[in-house]
Chains A and B, each alone.
Chain A
Amino acid sequence: MTDIYAGIALAELAIAALLLIRLGTGPTISDRIVALNAIAAQATLALVFFAAAADRTIYLDVGLWLASFSYLGTIVWARYLERGLL
């Protein structure tokens, strides 16, 4: 069972690596933020499955934190794009 979990975590990380291309080459800032948002979701999944594979419960809390606060970065960037600083 741990092998399956480790494989799933690696596959999610591979998908996040694909998204890094868009993060590097996106023509506008919005493209990069879209890629960053998707990478955060994939990293959350990879962390959760890595926690199950390595049997370390502490990584679950890191994944939970990432899921609940990574969207704040997107919201802040969207607000900045819409209205400028402040």
Chain B
Amino acid sequence: MKEWIVIVLAGIGLASSLTAAVGILRMPDVYSRIQSSSKSITMGALPALVALVVGEGAITAYGGRALLITFLLLVVNPAASHALARAAYKSGVPMWSGAVRDEPKEKR
């Protein structure tokens, strides 16, 4: 029973991570890739780590550190993605030719 819960949770996480990898490979410009990376990588990491917590128990060394890594990834990954997107925009990386809105430019 526990093994099946671990397999299902890790499968959800791996599917999300695979989606992120395909998105990073196939998206047309940097901003879409950052969007794909930040959300799907975080959502791929959480179920996999929860699977480890379920499999090993929350009080053990594995479960506790998995919870800590979950918290760190939740805090750190969006912050890094935001900083990177901002830096890419300010350093003038062009958008995809099919992009329709450029709000910071319109406001200036």
Contact = CB atoms under 8 A, between A and B. Distances in A.
Interface of A: 1, 4-5, 8, 11-12, 15, 18-19, 21-22, 28, 30-31, 33-35, 37-38, 41-42, 44-45, 48-49, 51-52, 57, 60-61, 63-64, 67-68, 71, 74-75, 77-79, 81-82
- Residue of B21, B61, B73, B79 contacting most chain A CB atoms (<10 Å): B21
A63 B64 CA distance: 13
B33 A31 contact: yes
Interface string B3-28: 10011001001100110111011000
Given A19-B24, A82-B87, A45 B45 contact: yes
Nearest to B51: A8
B93 A51 contact: no
Interface residues of B, number: 47
Q: Which 3 A-B pairs have the closest CB atoms?
A: A78-B87, A30-B88, A81-B87
Interface string B29-63: 01001100100011001001101100110000110
Chain A facing B: main interface SS: helix
B79 to A, nearest CB: 7
Contacts of A61: 65
A11 B14 CA distance: 7
